[in-house]
Structure 1
Amino acid sequence: MKSSTDALLHLDITLMKQVQVILLLSLSLVLFCPPLVISIDPSFNDDVLGLIMFKAGLEDPKGKLSTWNEDDYSPCNWVGVKCDPETNRVSSLVLDGFSLSGHIDRGLLRLQFLQILSLSRNNFTGTIAPDLLSVGGLQVVDLSENNLSGSVPNGIFQQCWSLRVVSFANNNLTGKIPDSLSSCYSLEVVNFSSNQLHGELPSGIWFLRGLQSIDVSNNLLEGEIPDGIQNLYELRELRLGRNHFTGRIPEGIGDCLLLKLVDFSGNSLSGRFPESMQKLTSCSFLSLQGNSFTGGIPHWIGELKNLEMLDLSANKFSGWIPKSIGNLDLLSRLNLSRNEFTGNLPELMVNCIKLLTLDISHNHLGGHLPSWIFRMGLQSVSLLGNRFSESNYPSLSISVSFHGLQVLDLSSNAFSGQLPAGIGGLSSLQVLNLSTNNISGSIPVSIGELKSLYILDLSYNKINGSIPSEIEGAISLSEMRLQKNFIGGRVPAKIEKCSELTYLNLSHNKLIGSIPSAIANLTNLQYVDFSWNELSGSLPKELTNLSHLFSFNVSYNRLQGELPVGGFFNTISPSSVSGNPLLCGSVVNHSCPSVHPKPIVLNPNSSYSNSGSSLKNHRHKIMLSISVLIAIGAAVFIVIGVVIVTVLNIHVRSSMSLSAAPFVLSGGEDYSGSPPNDPNNGKLVMFSGDAEFADGAHHLLNKETEIGRGGFGVVYCTVLKDGHYVAIKKLTMSTLTKSQEDFEREVKMLGKIKHQNLVALEGYYWTPSLQLLIYEYLARGSLQKLLHDDDSCKNVLSWRQRFKIIHGMAKGLAYLHRMELIHYNLKSTNVFIDCSDEPKIGDSGLVRLLPMLDPCVLSSKIQSALGYMAPEFACRTVKITEKCDIYSFGILILEVVTGKRPVEYMEDDVVVLCDKVRSTLDDGKVEQCVDEKLKGNFAAEEAIPVIKLGLVCASQVPSNRPDMAEVVNILELVQCPSEGQEELQ
């Protein structure tokens, strides 16, 4: 009994001990283990919620964010998301190149532990939130390559204590760089490039001593570069290129000893090389391209031993190229083009053993080419526009040093001699340009061995012989320019093997025979010129299959037969086939006979001499009668035109005074805010930029803002809200304009025409009774003003300026004609000059707004300036072509050269400029043909050909006038090198 009792007592004690252990364990768990609720920390919901809010405002066309699920417990496994392993909070959001669009939502502000935010290469729009950088401890922010707009908020950098990298590059941001950027003391990289930022560079940026890279290139920044750059001891990259900076390079730049990349290109900086730059021995990239630096290249340039790229092009550097440049044995790219360097290339440059690209074009260098030019490894050589005159080329046939050469441009020099027979040894050559030299001999047959060649330009030389049939081997050839030589023989049919050809110019040679039908197999052809040769036979019908053709010129040959019908030839210009009297077809106004006429048999017994004399007298009478009839007809048309003009002007002015009221008297409201469907308010459209006027629409058409009148209407000046001025043309020919649909279609097409020598159309305004065209504004005024106003005596245009104006007008008009547009109204009041002496032709293509191209309407309504109108306007039976523009251009040439108006009224005489110049030139009095304001300070070797060109362009016979493309080539050919012309500036 006692033993059982002891057993029970022992069991109780054991159970009690186990209970105590359980209680102790439970207590320890309570006291020392963290609560289980930590696994459902609400902070996880903040990250999920913030990212889901961000995603909700996005478009995700590629489904990149499909893994983002609002029901997930944690976002750490989502695409583009990374978390800190210690806190399990989102630390990195990288969505580069996801094709996302939409706005950057404020949901990102919930990510309080975010350190890296990278959304580059997407299509985000909208503005940058002012509190974006207040998120957690952001270290990297990259919003580059999107479509963000608006200004950078002033206060965005007020909480940037941890920020190391910021990039807003390649967006549409405006405004200024915030001064608050200077408070980001941890910054290492700043990239605001390729936006539209303006104003000055904040000087406080130089106090960010940890800064390693600055890139504000491709903006509109202006003013001088502030001092203080010497504080940036850690700076490695400095990119300030393509802005509007002025002044000099800060002298302190030499203290940034770690600089590897320096880019000041595309600004308006001036002065000389700062001496301190010689301390930048770590620099590998240096570009001062496109500024106004002067002086010579300092000899210490050779001390920058790490230079790999040196670009000093498009400046005003002068003197000799220093020999020390040969010390740059790491140099791979050297560009000294478009400067005023003289002398020759230093022989020591043979030590630049890694040089791949050499461009010294458009300088005054001369003499013989050093042999190292053609050494092994060089890939691109451009000596264009110098005075090199080496007569014997290196022996290409035995050299292996050319095998890497891809581009060889020796054009516009004074090279003579023959093309080397071994030119085919340049197995890698892609571009060969030897144009505008004195090269003679024939084209070597080895030219067909250049399998990679896609541009061959041997134009403007003295090459003879024939085009070798071996040309078929140049299978990559895209452009072949052989014009202005003495090449004879036939066009080889094997040229069809050059299937990549798009441009073929064989004009002004001595080619014979027919045009091979194999040409029609070159299906990529866009431009063909066989003019001014001795080609015969008929044009192959297969040419109509060339679907990409936009220019085909066979004028002044001996072609005959019917023109091809179909394709491009349905719209071919008559000038492109002129000078071939035996051609027939509708284009040449010569019907093709269906039956050949019987041959004429002369009676051997008739008196040939008497009949010939009688026929000559009879023909003279007929021609005299025709001349009288044309003169009478012209007078009648002019009188009718004046009557029409008067009636139309009265009608237009009366209707405009009533119809313009809703626009002018708008109560001060801008039309950018008017309802688009309200016909009384009209429709204002800008092709780009701000569509609002700074002073409101009611200030536009005031007499005070009027700056000119022309054949199409009155021109006013106003300013847009973004600060730039525009010119507004109020069309006074509203009764002749087309419907709104036609008007808008034509105007939008004109808005796409962009050329540096054409005034840009920036927008338009439409109501049924009022149409406005909005153009870029050129404050310097018209060519007429610069030549003839009283103030023109104070600022006389130099000969160099006049030549540039003539050349620019030619390029602008040639571009219009390539676009198949005829100007019809070219005169000095329609040519404007910008601050760089670049001419811009106005009113381009406006004739397309008329319902019909009637000669009477054109001559009386548009071509109102006396002296510029081509004679064919007076004859209704003559087709109006681009040749009427060329006549006006010829008159403009004479006006620019002489400084005289096309027609001047004296006390008892009327002086017609064209006749006066022709008479004076025939008398050998060239000096009297040039504006007396120049006082003999002009280049006679340029002036005489230019005057003759003006007379040829102003020929009474349209077919005698050259095409504008040919005019441009002639001007470039007669233009003298720049040496000795400083006094002409």
Structure 2
Amino acid sequence: MCYLKFFIFALILVSILRKCKSIDDYSDDVLGLIAFKAEIIDPLSHLSSWNQDDISPCSWKFITCNPATGRVTELALVGLSLSGKVGRGLEKVQNLQVLNLAHNNLAGKLNPELSLLSNLKKLNLSHNDLSGGIPPSLISSGSIKFLDLSKNSLSGPVPEETFLSCSSLRVLSLSGNNFQGPIPNSLSQCAILNHLNLSKNRFSGTPSFGTGLWLLARIRTLDLSHNALSGSLPNGVSGLPYLKELFLQGNHFSGALPFDIGLCSHLVKLDLSNNLFTESLPVSFSGLSSLSYLNLANNVLTGDFPEWVGKLNRLEYLDISGNGLTGILPTSIGNLGSLSYVSLSGNSLSGKIPESLIYSSNLSVVRLRGNKFNGSIPEGLFELGLTQIDLSRNQLNGSIPPGSSRLFETLESMDLSANGLTGDIPAEIGLFSKLRYLNLSWNNFETRMPLQLGYFENLTVLDLRNGAFHGSIPGDICNSGSFEILQLDGNSLTDSIPEDIGKCSSLYLLTMSHNDLRGFIPRSMSLLKKLKILKLDDNELSGEIPQELGELENLLAVNISYNRLQGRLPSGGIFPSLQQSSLEGNLGICSPFLKGPCKMNVPKPLVLDPYSYGNQMGDHEGGSISSKRSKHHKFLSVSAIIAILAAVLISVGVLVISLLNISARRRTQFVSNALESCSSSSRSTRRLSVGKLVWFDSKIAPGWVVNPESLLNKAADIGKGVFGTVYKASLGEEGRYLAIKSLVVSNTVHHPEDFDREVRVLGKARHPNLVSVKGYYWTPELQLLVTEYVPNGSLQDKLQESSTSGPLLSWSKRFKILVGTAKGLAHLHHSFRPPIVHYNIKPSNILLDDEFNPKVSDFGLTRIVAKLDKKVMSNRFQSALGYVAPELACQSLRVNEKCDVYGFGVLILELVTGRRPIEYGDDNVLILNEEVKVMLEEGNVLDCVDQNMGEFPEEEVLPVLKLALVCTSQIPSSRPSMAEVIQILHVIKTPLPRRMEAY
């Protein structure tokens, strides 16, 4: 009996102890999660149910517990707008198996203590703002199967020891960070890795495929795209029997494609685009029977287009554009019954477009631009449900086939430009209700302008330039109101411009030059509030230019030369500053830039000279009087002419003197205002308190700071910009100068604290490739910015000198300027939070020292002048025309770093080609990046290189041009960061043998 009582007591005691231990375990989970919450900012109170007084956290939101043990096994806080950092509290939650904090705003470094969670199998911290490197212990703990750190700000090299113990890892994604250096060879230790994504980083060098990546026998997805990797791909990929997706696009891989890649029979997606692969396509590709996606675009592949393409019967997406393929397009392409997208643009394919292509009944996109196809367009092609068709820049002839009802419902874009098409435009074209882009330019239709243009409901771009169209412009052309670009240049259009042109309220580009248009410029054009470019040159337009056009605030470029226009220009907008080339060849436009006559349409006086009809008087006396009057009239006419000339000369003299007086007064006011707060003690205390003079550079002589009069009295005007006038001033020492910018918008910053805060940020931007800010002077009426003086002028000056038989700007100097400019911009973007965005990258803002080292100037001025008025904003766009990123110029004024990347890309193009980003030809507007892109597709891009540069290495210039086109991508997210640009430039400059040695 005693033994029985003792046994029952023992059971009760054990039960109590277990319960106490369980409570302690619960307490660890509660304490750990509460500590974790304490370092998290939860603006929407998603974690309000987390109460530290609870015994167990299993009832809390976003928590999953093991029902048997009551311990927390999963924490999922996805997309809750959380910020803060991942603290050490989670160390207590020892049974945690899944931690998912994706799509938040968490910052700070990766917590190495996460490796102490011995049961953690899945860790997802993607889409946050984490920084620093990867703690090697995080993966070497040995339990993690799934690790996703993509879309953060992680950086630095990935150490080799990171993957020495990764035997359990199955999924790894480091995509969208800033990792650099080589890909660790230790990745081959991850024997059961299924998915590896290292894309969109800055990894460089030649990966060890043969001894590393090709050894991942279980790999299914391998993504190394959009890095700076180089070298060739060795054979051995066939050793990956489970490989389904291989993405290597956007690197610098070169050489021939691996022969055995065609032996990966399970491969579904293969993207090797935007590299430097050469030679012909391996025949083994015909064995990729499971392949549905093949992208080999923008390489240097050669040889005939393969006949075996018809064997890839599961292919849905085919892009081999931008290569050097020759031969004909085989009829076997019609065997691809699943094909929905085909792009073969930018090759040298010839022959006819095969009729068999119509058997690919699922086709949605057909792009054959820039080849040598001839013959007529297969009629059956226009019976498919296409959304895009681009057959431009070929040698096609015949007429445009009529479209089917299926095509009416689907077609969104059609480009048939630069062929030899003839005949009428099919009436059915007006039924394309979804059509947004239509380009029929540079053909030989010899027909009337299509009358069905008014039927288009969604058409935004219509290009009919040089299409041999005649007749009048349809009056209902703007019925849809959706046009953004309308180009009718180089035809034989007659009659007047329709008054209803004002209904095209979305237009920002309108060109009608080189036609036979007559009559007046419609006043309704003043309703085109979004219009940026207007070209009406080489017509027969007459009368005066409507004054209302001066109210178009967005108008950046106008050409009305070689018409019959006369009279005064509109007083507002861009018109007062139009140059001679935009106005010449008219009857008499009044402009200070024209030397010809100025004819005003002044109404004739009502009182006529009665003596002008002397021949009606019958007697001799009357005739005598008439003769006298006639002589007197002639005398008065001469005197009137003299008086008019004198008046003109006096007016010009008064105007010149007034301008000189204004300039002198501005200069005097500049000096007096600048000295207002720091000159003699005779000034009143109230005036001394108005001005504020601050210096960031302690090396400036104290005597000069106390009395800047000696400096400012000798200041010389050296240039004007969008933000103000720049003066060169002596520092008082032999050969030392400063630059002083008087900001043009002087009434937008009313508080010295705001001005001081913003300028001090700029003062901290010290870098060899940035113009350093030395200090500032502030009053409510005047703000001066003092910077270092750069002696060798701007890049714009040097480009102009080089183009006018001046000293050669060699390739080495140009490349040096590119690298230095990139480094300066990268410092602004990556060393400050928030980043400093320049916003106005162009050659005139790149200054050069005596060694041709570039220094970026005028950075951060948008921070100082935060409330720009419309005039200044319009002037900035006008001065940077061609450099403005499309998302900035056409949509909103939101500033981000990718705007600078776009401007830098245009800067590359201008440096390499020696041409302006936008040029106005006889027949059209030439946009430099579009021209270079076309020439790259056609394989003759080196023809656009500036001849004044002298000899240049093709192996450097070609990838630099490709980099420029990537930087000027229309999609901001597709542009690289400036840090990535620097890495790419270094890879381009490094000689190939040294690259191989380095890696």
TM-score tier by shorter-chain length is 0.5 to 0.7
Per the TM alignment, residue 208 of structure 1 is displaced from its structure 2 partner at its CA by 1.3
Aligned counterpart, 1:877:
none
Residues 267-322 of structure 1, C-alpha deviation per residue, up to 9 Å, x if partnerless? 11111112232321211111111111111111111111111111111111111121
CA contact (8 A) 1:740 1:766 kept: no
Aligned residues: 770
Match of 1:473 among 428, 447, 455: 455
| Percent identical | 25
* Unpaired runs of at least 5, structure 1: 1-19, 607-613, 668-678, 681-710, 715-728, 752-759, 798-820, 851-879, 887-945, 954-959
| CA shift in 2, pair 1:969/1:132, >3 Å | closer
Q: What is the CA–CA distance in structure 1 between the aligned matches of 2:607 and 2:8, rounded to whole Å? A: 127
| CA shift in 2, pair 1:451/1:414, >3 Å | same
CA contact (8 A) 1:338 1:363 kept: yes
Aligned counterpart, 1:189:
171
Question: SS of 1:320's equivalent?
Answer: coil
| CA shift in 2, pair 1:487/1:982, >3 Å | closer
| CA shift in 2, pair 1:599/1:100, >3 Å | farther
CA contact (8 A) 1:109 1:135 kept: yes
Q: What is the CA–CA distance in structure 1 between the aligned matches of 2:377 and 2:749, rounded to whole Å? A: 59
Alignment of 1:411-422 (within 5 A): 411-422=392-403
Q: What is the CA–CA distance in structure 2 between the aligned matches of 1:825 and 1:627, rounded to whole Å? A: 39
Question: SS of 2:236's equivalent?
Answer: helix
| CA shift in 2, pair 1:762/1:413, >3 Å | farther
Residues 78-127 of structure 1, C-alpha deviation per residue, up to 9 Å, x if partnerless? 22211122221111111112222221122112111111111111111222
Which is worse superposed, 213-222 or 246-255? 246-255
Question: SS of 1:91's equivalent?
Answer: strand
Structure 1 residue 344 corresponds to structure 2 residue 328: yes
Question: SS of 2:428's equivalent?
Answer: helix
Aligned counterpart, 2:15:
35
CA contact (8 A) 1:550 1:568 kept: no
Aligned counterpart, 1:360:
344
Aligned counterpart, 1:198:
180
Q: What is the CA–CA distance in structure 2 between the aligned matches of 1:822 and 1:74, rounded to whole Å? A: 58
CA contact (8 A) 1:81 1:92 kept: yes
Aligned counterpart, 1:382:
367
Structure 1 residue 302 corresponds to structure 2 residue 281: no
| CA shift in 2, pair 1:495/1:132, >3 Å | same
Residues 796-820 of structure 1, C-alpha deviation per residue, up to 9 Å, x if partnerless? 99xxxxxxxxxxxxxxxxxxxxxxx
| CA shift in 2, pair 1:268/1:649, >3 Å | farther
Counterpart of 1:405, as a letter, is L
| CA shift in 2, pair 1:355/1:971, >3 Å | closer
Q: What is the CA–CA distance in structure 2 between the aligned matches of 1:441 and 1:621, rounded to whole Å? A: 60
| CA shift in 2, pair 1:306/1:92, >3 Å | same
Aligned counterpart, 1:452:
434
Structure 1 residue 563 corresponds to structure 2 residue 546: yes
Per the TM alignment, residue 63 of structure 1 is displaced from its structure 2 partner at its CA by 3.4
CA contact (8 A) 1:424 1:450 kept: no
TM-score for both structures, normalised by structure 2: 0.64
Which is worse superposed, 503-512 or 450-459? 503-512
Q: What is the CA–CA distance in structure 1 between the aligned matches of 2:660 and 2:863, rounded to whole Å? A: 25
Residues 2-30 of structure 1, C-alpha deviation per residue, up to 9 Å, x if partnerless? xxxxxxxxxxxxxxxxxx7xx88765532
Q: What is the CA–CA distance in structure 1 between the aligned matches of 2:178 and 2:213, rounded to whole Å? A: 24
| CA shift in 2, pair 1:539/1:642, >3 Å | closer
Q: What is the CA–CA distance in structure 2 between the aligned matches of 1:455 and 1:840, rounded to whole Å? A: 42
Aligned counterpart, 1:167:
148
Aligned counterpart, 2:776:
767
CA contact (8 A) 1:92 1:117 kept: yes
Aligned counterpart, 1:408:
389
Aligned counterpart, 1:724:
none
Structure 1 residue 278 corresponds to structure 2 residue 262: yes
CA contact (8 A) 2:472 2:494 kept: yes
Match of 2:42 among 60, 63, 67: 60
Q: What is the CA–CA distance in structure 2 between the aligned matches of 1:822 and 1:113, rounded to whole Å? A: 54
Aligned counterpart, 1:503:
485
Per the TM alignment, residue 142 of structure 1 is displaced from its structure 2 partner at its CA by 0.6
Q: What is the CA–CA distance in structure 2 between the aligned matches of 1:49 and 1:497, rounded to whole Å? A: 68
Alignment of 1:863-874 (within 5 A): none
Per the TM alignment, residue 490 of structure 1 is displaced from its structure 2 partner at its CA by 2.6
Structure 1 residue 333 corresponds to structure 2 residue 317: yes
Structure 1 residue 260 corresponds to structure 2 residue 244: yes
Q: What is the CA–CA distance in structure 2 between the aligned matches of 1:981 and 1:969, rounded to whole Å? A: 11
Counterpart of 1:157, as a letter, is L
Aligned counterpart, 1:434:
416
Residues 716-744 of structure 1, C-alpha deviation per residue, up to 9 Å, x if partnerless? xxxxxxxxxxxxx9972436776596799
Counterpart of 1:93, as a letter, is L
Q: What is the CA–CA distance in structure 1 between the aligned matches of 2:106 and 2:548, rounded to whole Å? A: 52
Q: What is the CA–CA distance in structure 2 between the aligned matches of 1:595 and 1:93, rounded to whole Å? A: 84
Q: What is the CA–CA distance in structure 2 between the aligned matches of 1:186 and 1:824, rounded to whole Å? A: 52
| CA shift in 2, pair 1:545/1:403, >3 Å | same
Q: What is the CA–CA distance in structure 2 between the aligned matches of 1:162 and 1:271, rounded to whole Å? A: 40
Q: What is the CA–CA distance in structure 1 between the aligned matches of 2:133 and 2:445, rounded to whole Å? A: 61
Aligned counterpart, 2:160:
179
Structure 1 residue 242 corresponds to structure 2 residue 251: no
Aligned counterpart, 1:8:
none
CA contact (8 A) 1:111 1:136 kept: no
Aligned counterpart, 1:520:
502
TM-score for both structures, normalised by structure 1: 0.65
Q: What is the CA–CA distance in structure 2 between the aligned matches of 1:324 and 1:403, rounded to whole Å? A: 24
Structure 1 residue 102 corresponds to structure 2 residue 81: no
Bigger relative contact order (CA 8 A; separation at least 6): 2
Q: What is the CA–CA distance in structure 2 between the aligned matches of 1:171 and 1:575, rounded to whole Å? A: 45
Alignment of 1:708-857 (within 5 A): 732-734=739-741, 739=746, 767-768=776-777, 771-772=786-787, 783=799
Q: What is the CA–CA distance in structure 2 between the aligned matches of 1:823 and 1:181, rounded to whole Å? A: 40
Q: What is the CA–CA distance in structure 2 between the aligned matches of 1:407 and 1:741, rounded to whole Å? A: 48
| CA shift in 2, pair 1:190/1:763, >3 Å | farther
Q: What is the CA–CA distance in structure 2 between the aligned matches of 1:628 and 1:844, rounded to whole Å? A: 44
CA contact (8 A) 2:389 2:415 kept: yes
| CA shift in 2, pair 1:736/1:548, >3 Å | closer
CA contact (8 A) 2:550 2:570 kept: no
Aligned counterpart, 2:828:
none
Q: What is the CA–CA distance in structure 2 between the aligned matches of 1:352 and 1:964, rounded to whole Å? A: 40
CA contact (8 A) 1:175 1:197 kept: yes
Q: What is the CA–CA distance in structure 1 between the aligned matches of 2:861 and 2:659, rounded to whole Å? A: 22
Q: What is the CA–CA distance in structure 2 between the aligned matches of 1:282 and 1:974, rounded to whole Å? A: 36
Question: SS of 1:222's equivalent?
Answer: strand
Residues 559-605 of structure 1, C-alpha deviation per residue, up to 9 Å, x if partnerless? 53551527853675683444351575534665975746679999899
Question: SS of 1:73's equivalent?
Answer: coil
CA contact (8 A) 1:652 1:734 kept: no
Per the TM alignment, residue 234 of structure 1 is displaced from its structure 2 partner at its CA by 0.6
* Unpaired runs of at least 5, structure 2: 576-588, 591-598, 617-634, 680-691, 707-724, 729-735, 762-768, 778-783, 815-838, 866-874, 882-912, 946-953, 955-999
CA contact (8 A) 2:528 2:552 kept: no
Match of 1:530 among 508, 512, 519: 512
Per the TM alignment, residue 551 of structure 1 is displaced from its structure 2 partner at its CA by 3.4
Aligned CA RMSD, in angstroms, stands at: 5.8
Q: What is the CA–CA distance in structure 1 between the aligned matches of 2:846 and 2:647, rounded to whole Å? A: 33
